[in-house]
Amino acid sequence: MTTSHSVPVVDLNDGTRIPQLGFGVFQIPPAETKAAVLTALEAGYRHIDTAEMYENEAEVGAAVGESGIPREEIWVTSKLSNRFHDPAAARTEGARSAERLGGYMDLFLIHWPLAMLSDPALTWEAMQELTTSGAARSLGVSNFQIHHLEGLARAGAPTPSVNQIELHPYLTQPDLSAYCHEHGIGVEAWSPIAQGKVLGDATLVEIAERHGRSPAQVTLRWHLQRNHIIFPKSATPERIRENIAIFDFSLSDAEMAAISELNRDERTGPDPDTFDMVPS
Ligand SMILES: NC(=O)c1ccc[n+]([C@@H]2O[C@H](COP(=O)([O-])OP(=O)(O)OC[C@H]3O[C@@H](n4cnc5c(N)ncnc54)[C@H](OP(=O)(O)O)[C@@H]3O)[C@@H](O)[C@H]2O)c1
């Protein structure tokens, strides 16, 4: 699976292969999602990251269907909403997400570890059935801390293929990333440019000027060289194209270290250990 930008693929622990760069659609209104996804596919993206909670799965599915690109050439991830952790709901709602996304999901995640309406291991067990029915090819988790991952392992459950966590230069998550990599769990970095908050950083601006690139491109390149799977969001066509044009330059070890040292343990989103929102 290659595109005009030669996006590398990452081998996951269940034998599936995910494009390392994708396109995130969080906070893209449903009415704008189809056009944004079509722009991304046109630009060469072959991996889309959505969620039931984003309320735009159907529009992602429509864009994928209308793109003319064979479904099997596009990786589509979605996530189980916080209110569907009950095992019966996880099965039904996983199947519904798959339907909205054109028949199956390449990857289905538990969106948040808290707000569990059941034992996480039971939700996880119910999700395994979605791979048997064909609704999902690969299963993972999101926003899981080490203690959540250890809980799944203690229950004897299969290891998730990925853990999708907030991760960017201001929140580098060294312990959690190391744990995931040591246990064969792919690290997906959400809000890879901290929703734009890192882009004015003097270190990133200076490195970007040196390479004749934008701070966003340098930040995304830093992720790639740290083996993160990323899916920056943009509703702006020029930025969608800019964010995938990062495969023809590389950062030096010193530049990589300077960016990693920007860590401030600063979140842009909720802390998984205190976030317990169940949308109504
Ligand atoms: N699992 C989870 O709990 C979770 C949580 C949050 C996000 N995610 C996933 O991660 C994806 C990405 O995270 P995110 O959407 O929170 O944030 P992000 O990708 O870090 O940043 C998106 C913001 O940066 C702007 N931007 C994008 N490219 C830019 C560029 N080249 N130059 C300047 N500004 C640029 C966008 O503006 P415009 O759109 O106006 O261009 C938007 O405001 C989401 O879409 C979603 O798929 C998952």
Concatenate the DSSP letters of all residues of 164-193 into one string: EEE-BTTB--HHHHHHHHHTT-EEEEESTT
Instruction: Tell me the CA end-to-end span of the chain in Å, nearest whole number.
Output: 39
Residue 280 and residue 39 in contact, taking contact as beta carbons nearer than 8 Å: no
Amino acid at 260: S
Q: Which of 25, 26, 45 to mutate to test the pocket of ligand 1 (most atoms within 8 A of CB)?
A: 26
Task: Tell me how far apart the alpha carbons of residues 181 and 226 are, in angstroms, rounded to a whole number.
Answer: 11
Residue 246 and residue 224 in contact, taking contact as beta carbons nearer than 8 Å: yes
Q: Quick check: is 274 in a domain?
A: no
- Ligand 1: atom nearest CA of 268 is 16
Mean pLDDT value of segment 70-77: 97
Name the average pLDDT for the chain.
94
pLDDT of residue 277: 64
Q: Quick check: is 241 in a domain?
A: no
pLDDT of residue 1: 44
Ligand 1-lining residues (CB < 6 angstroms): 24-26, 49, 111, 142-143, 164, 190-196, 199, 214, 216, 231-236, 239, 242-243, 269
Task: List pLDDT tens digits, range 213-243.
Answer: 999 999 999 999 999 999 999 999 999 999 9
Mean pLDDT value of segment 101-110: 97
- Ligand 1: atom nearest CA of 243 is 31
How far does residue 158's CA lie from ligand 1's centre (Å)? 30
Burial (CB count <10 Å: 0-12, 13-18, 19+), residue 234? buried
- Residue 50: HSE in the Cβ half-sphere, 13 Å Cα cutoff: 27
Mean pLDDT value of segment 37-41: 98
Q: Whose CA is nearest to atom 34 of ligand 1?
A: 196
Residue 75 and residue 40 in contact, taking contact as beta carbons nearer than 8 Å: no
Q: DSSP label at 277?
A: -
With 90 as the cut, is the pLDDT of residue 48 above it?
yes
pLDDT of residue 115: 56
pLDDT of residue 157: 85
Task: List pLDDT tens digits, range 163-199.
Answer: 999 999 999 999 999 999 999 999 999 999 999 999 9
Q: Quick check: is 245 in a domain?
A: no
Positions annotated as catalytic residues are: 54
How far does residue 263's CA lie from ligand 1's centre (Å)? 19
Q: Quick check: is 204 in a domain?
A: no
Q: Quick check: is 210 in a domain?
A: no
Q: Whose CA is nearest to atom 39 of ligand 1?
A: 234
Q: Quick check: is 207 in a domain?
A: no
How many independent structural domains does the chain possess? 1
Kindly report the pTM of this predicted structure: 0.97
Could you list the residue range(s) of the whole structural domain that residue 40 is in?
Answer: 9-192+228-235
- Name 57's Cβ contacts closer than 8 Å, sequence gap at least 6: 50, 51, 78, 97, 100, 101
8 pLDDT band, cuts 50/70/90, is: very high
With 50 as the cut, is the pLDDT of residue 2 above it?
no
Burial (CB count <10 Å: 0-12, 13-18, 19+), residue 31? exposed
Q: What CATH code is carried by the domain that includes residue 119?
A: 3.20.20.100
Structure tokens at 228: 């993160």
Could you tell me which of 153, 150, 180 has the C-alpha nearest to residue 13? 180
pLDDT of residue 116: 58
Q: Quick check: is 200 in a domain?
A: no
How far does residue 120's CA lie from ligand 1's centre (Å)? 28
